[in-house]
Amino acid sequence: MSIDLGNPRVISDEEKAVLLASPRGYCAGVDRAVVTVEQALELYGAPVYVRKEIVHNKHVVDDLRERGAIFVDELEEVPSGATVVFSAHGVAPAVHEDAAARELKTIDATCPLVTKVHLEARRFAAQDYDILLIGHAGHEEVEGTMGEAPGQTHLVESPADVEKLVVRDPARVVWLSQTTLSVDETMQTVTALRERFPEMIDPPSDDICYATQNRQLAVKEISAGADLVVVVGSGNSSNSVRLVEVAKEAGARDARRVDDASELRDEWFEGVGSVAVTSGASVPEKLVDGVLAALAERGYPEPQVVHSAEESLIFALPKELRRDLKAAGR
């Protein structure tokens, strides 16, 4: 539908529709990390320290902070002997060493899919490969992965970075990736890398996590022809930001990211009939419910759920926490 933004026509309630992506929201790794902090607070009592944000969602972080979690940027902020949880994004080996030196009680809530990438980095580094890590500078997951083999890992943010790469042996390079990237953009970078390094090898399995791929597939299905796509997620959530980009590439006329319903703007809905809604992998469902309620207040009907994949994966809690829960009879 073509809309004249300068003079949008009035949309009747009969023309309005809402599509709701499924799957959306919490993935197994995020659920595990959040439950880890909740269980640690219940078992050990407040405060429990958390290095960085446990997941990239400000509402989740604020809720845990109210319960007694203390979020810190570096371990030097944690008192000696205290309990500290490592976030779902993972940490470099140097962080583990620092924690041991300061006699901190650590609980590692790194997503197992991120841990898989860390193990790949260690293995290829031990085999003397140069590692081409596709990801975003400054992201905690990237910093943790690069810390596994800092002397052999090169960060590649986009195809534009490829020509600048200097490796020791073009015949011994492998690419790995941050788990929360856009699948399509990652493969564009991989294509550019392979043109530069024809003998580059692939990781043993896809590094982009199942939940990221499923949510991108789901948003593609609901975005084609949509007047507006609303992605619920925080601005520092890589996978949420990618969903906005994927929605636009899939044909949405407009796509917006909001932390919650309070950030919706009336002007976004001028001339808008079809609205599609999804959420990033670190977003609790109550925030999506809030957006749907706000749409209802604007005259939009109950959403039509569009199923594109089924998810049943569950990760066990970190072994340190399971041990202590068992000892406490829980």
By DSSP bridging, strand 173-177 and strand 130-134 are parallel
Q: Which helix (H) or strand (E) holds 58?
A: helix 58-67
Q: Of 140, 141, 143, 148, which residue is the catalytic one?
A: 141
Look up residue 80 and give its amino acid: S
Per-residue pLDDT of 246-273, as tens digits, reads 999 999 999 999 999 999 999 999 999 9
* pLDDT score recorded for residue 14: 75
Distance, C-alpha 269 to centroid of its chain: 27
163 belongs to the catalytic site = no
| Dist CA 57 CA 179 (whole Å) | 17
| Dist CA 202 CA 188 (whole Å) | 14
Whether 62 and 321 have beta carbons less than 8 Å apart is answered as no
Per-residue pLDDT of 222-250, as tens digits, reads 999 899 999 999 999 999 999 999 999 99
* pLDDT score recorded for residue 2: 36
DSSP code, position 68: T
* pLDDT score recorded for residue 9: 58
* pLDDT score recorded for residue 67: 97
| Dist CA 153 CA 167 (whole Å) | 9
Q: How confident is the model over 169-187, as a mean pLDDT?
A: 95
| Dist CA 142 CA 139 (whole Å) | 5
- Which DSSP string corresponds to 183-229? HHHHHHHHHHHHHH-TTPBPPSS--S-HHHHHHHHHHHHHHTT-SEE
Per-residue pLDDT of 132-174, as tens digits, reads 999 999 999 999 999 999 999 999 999 999 999 999 999 999 9
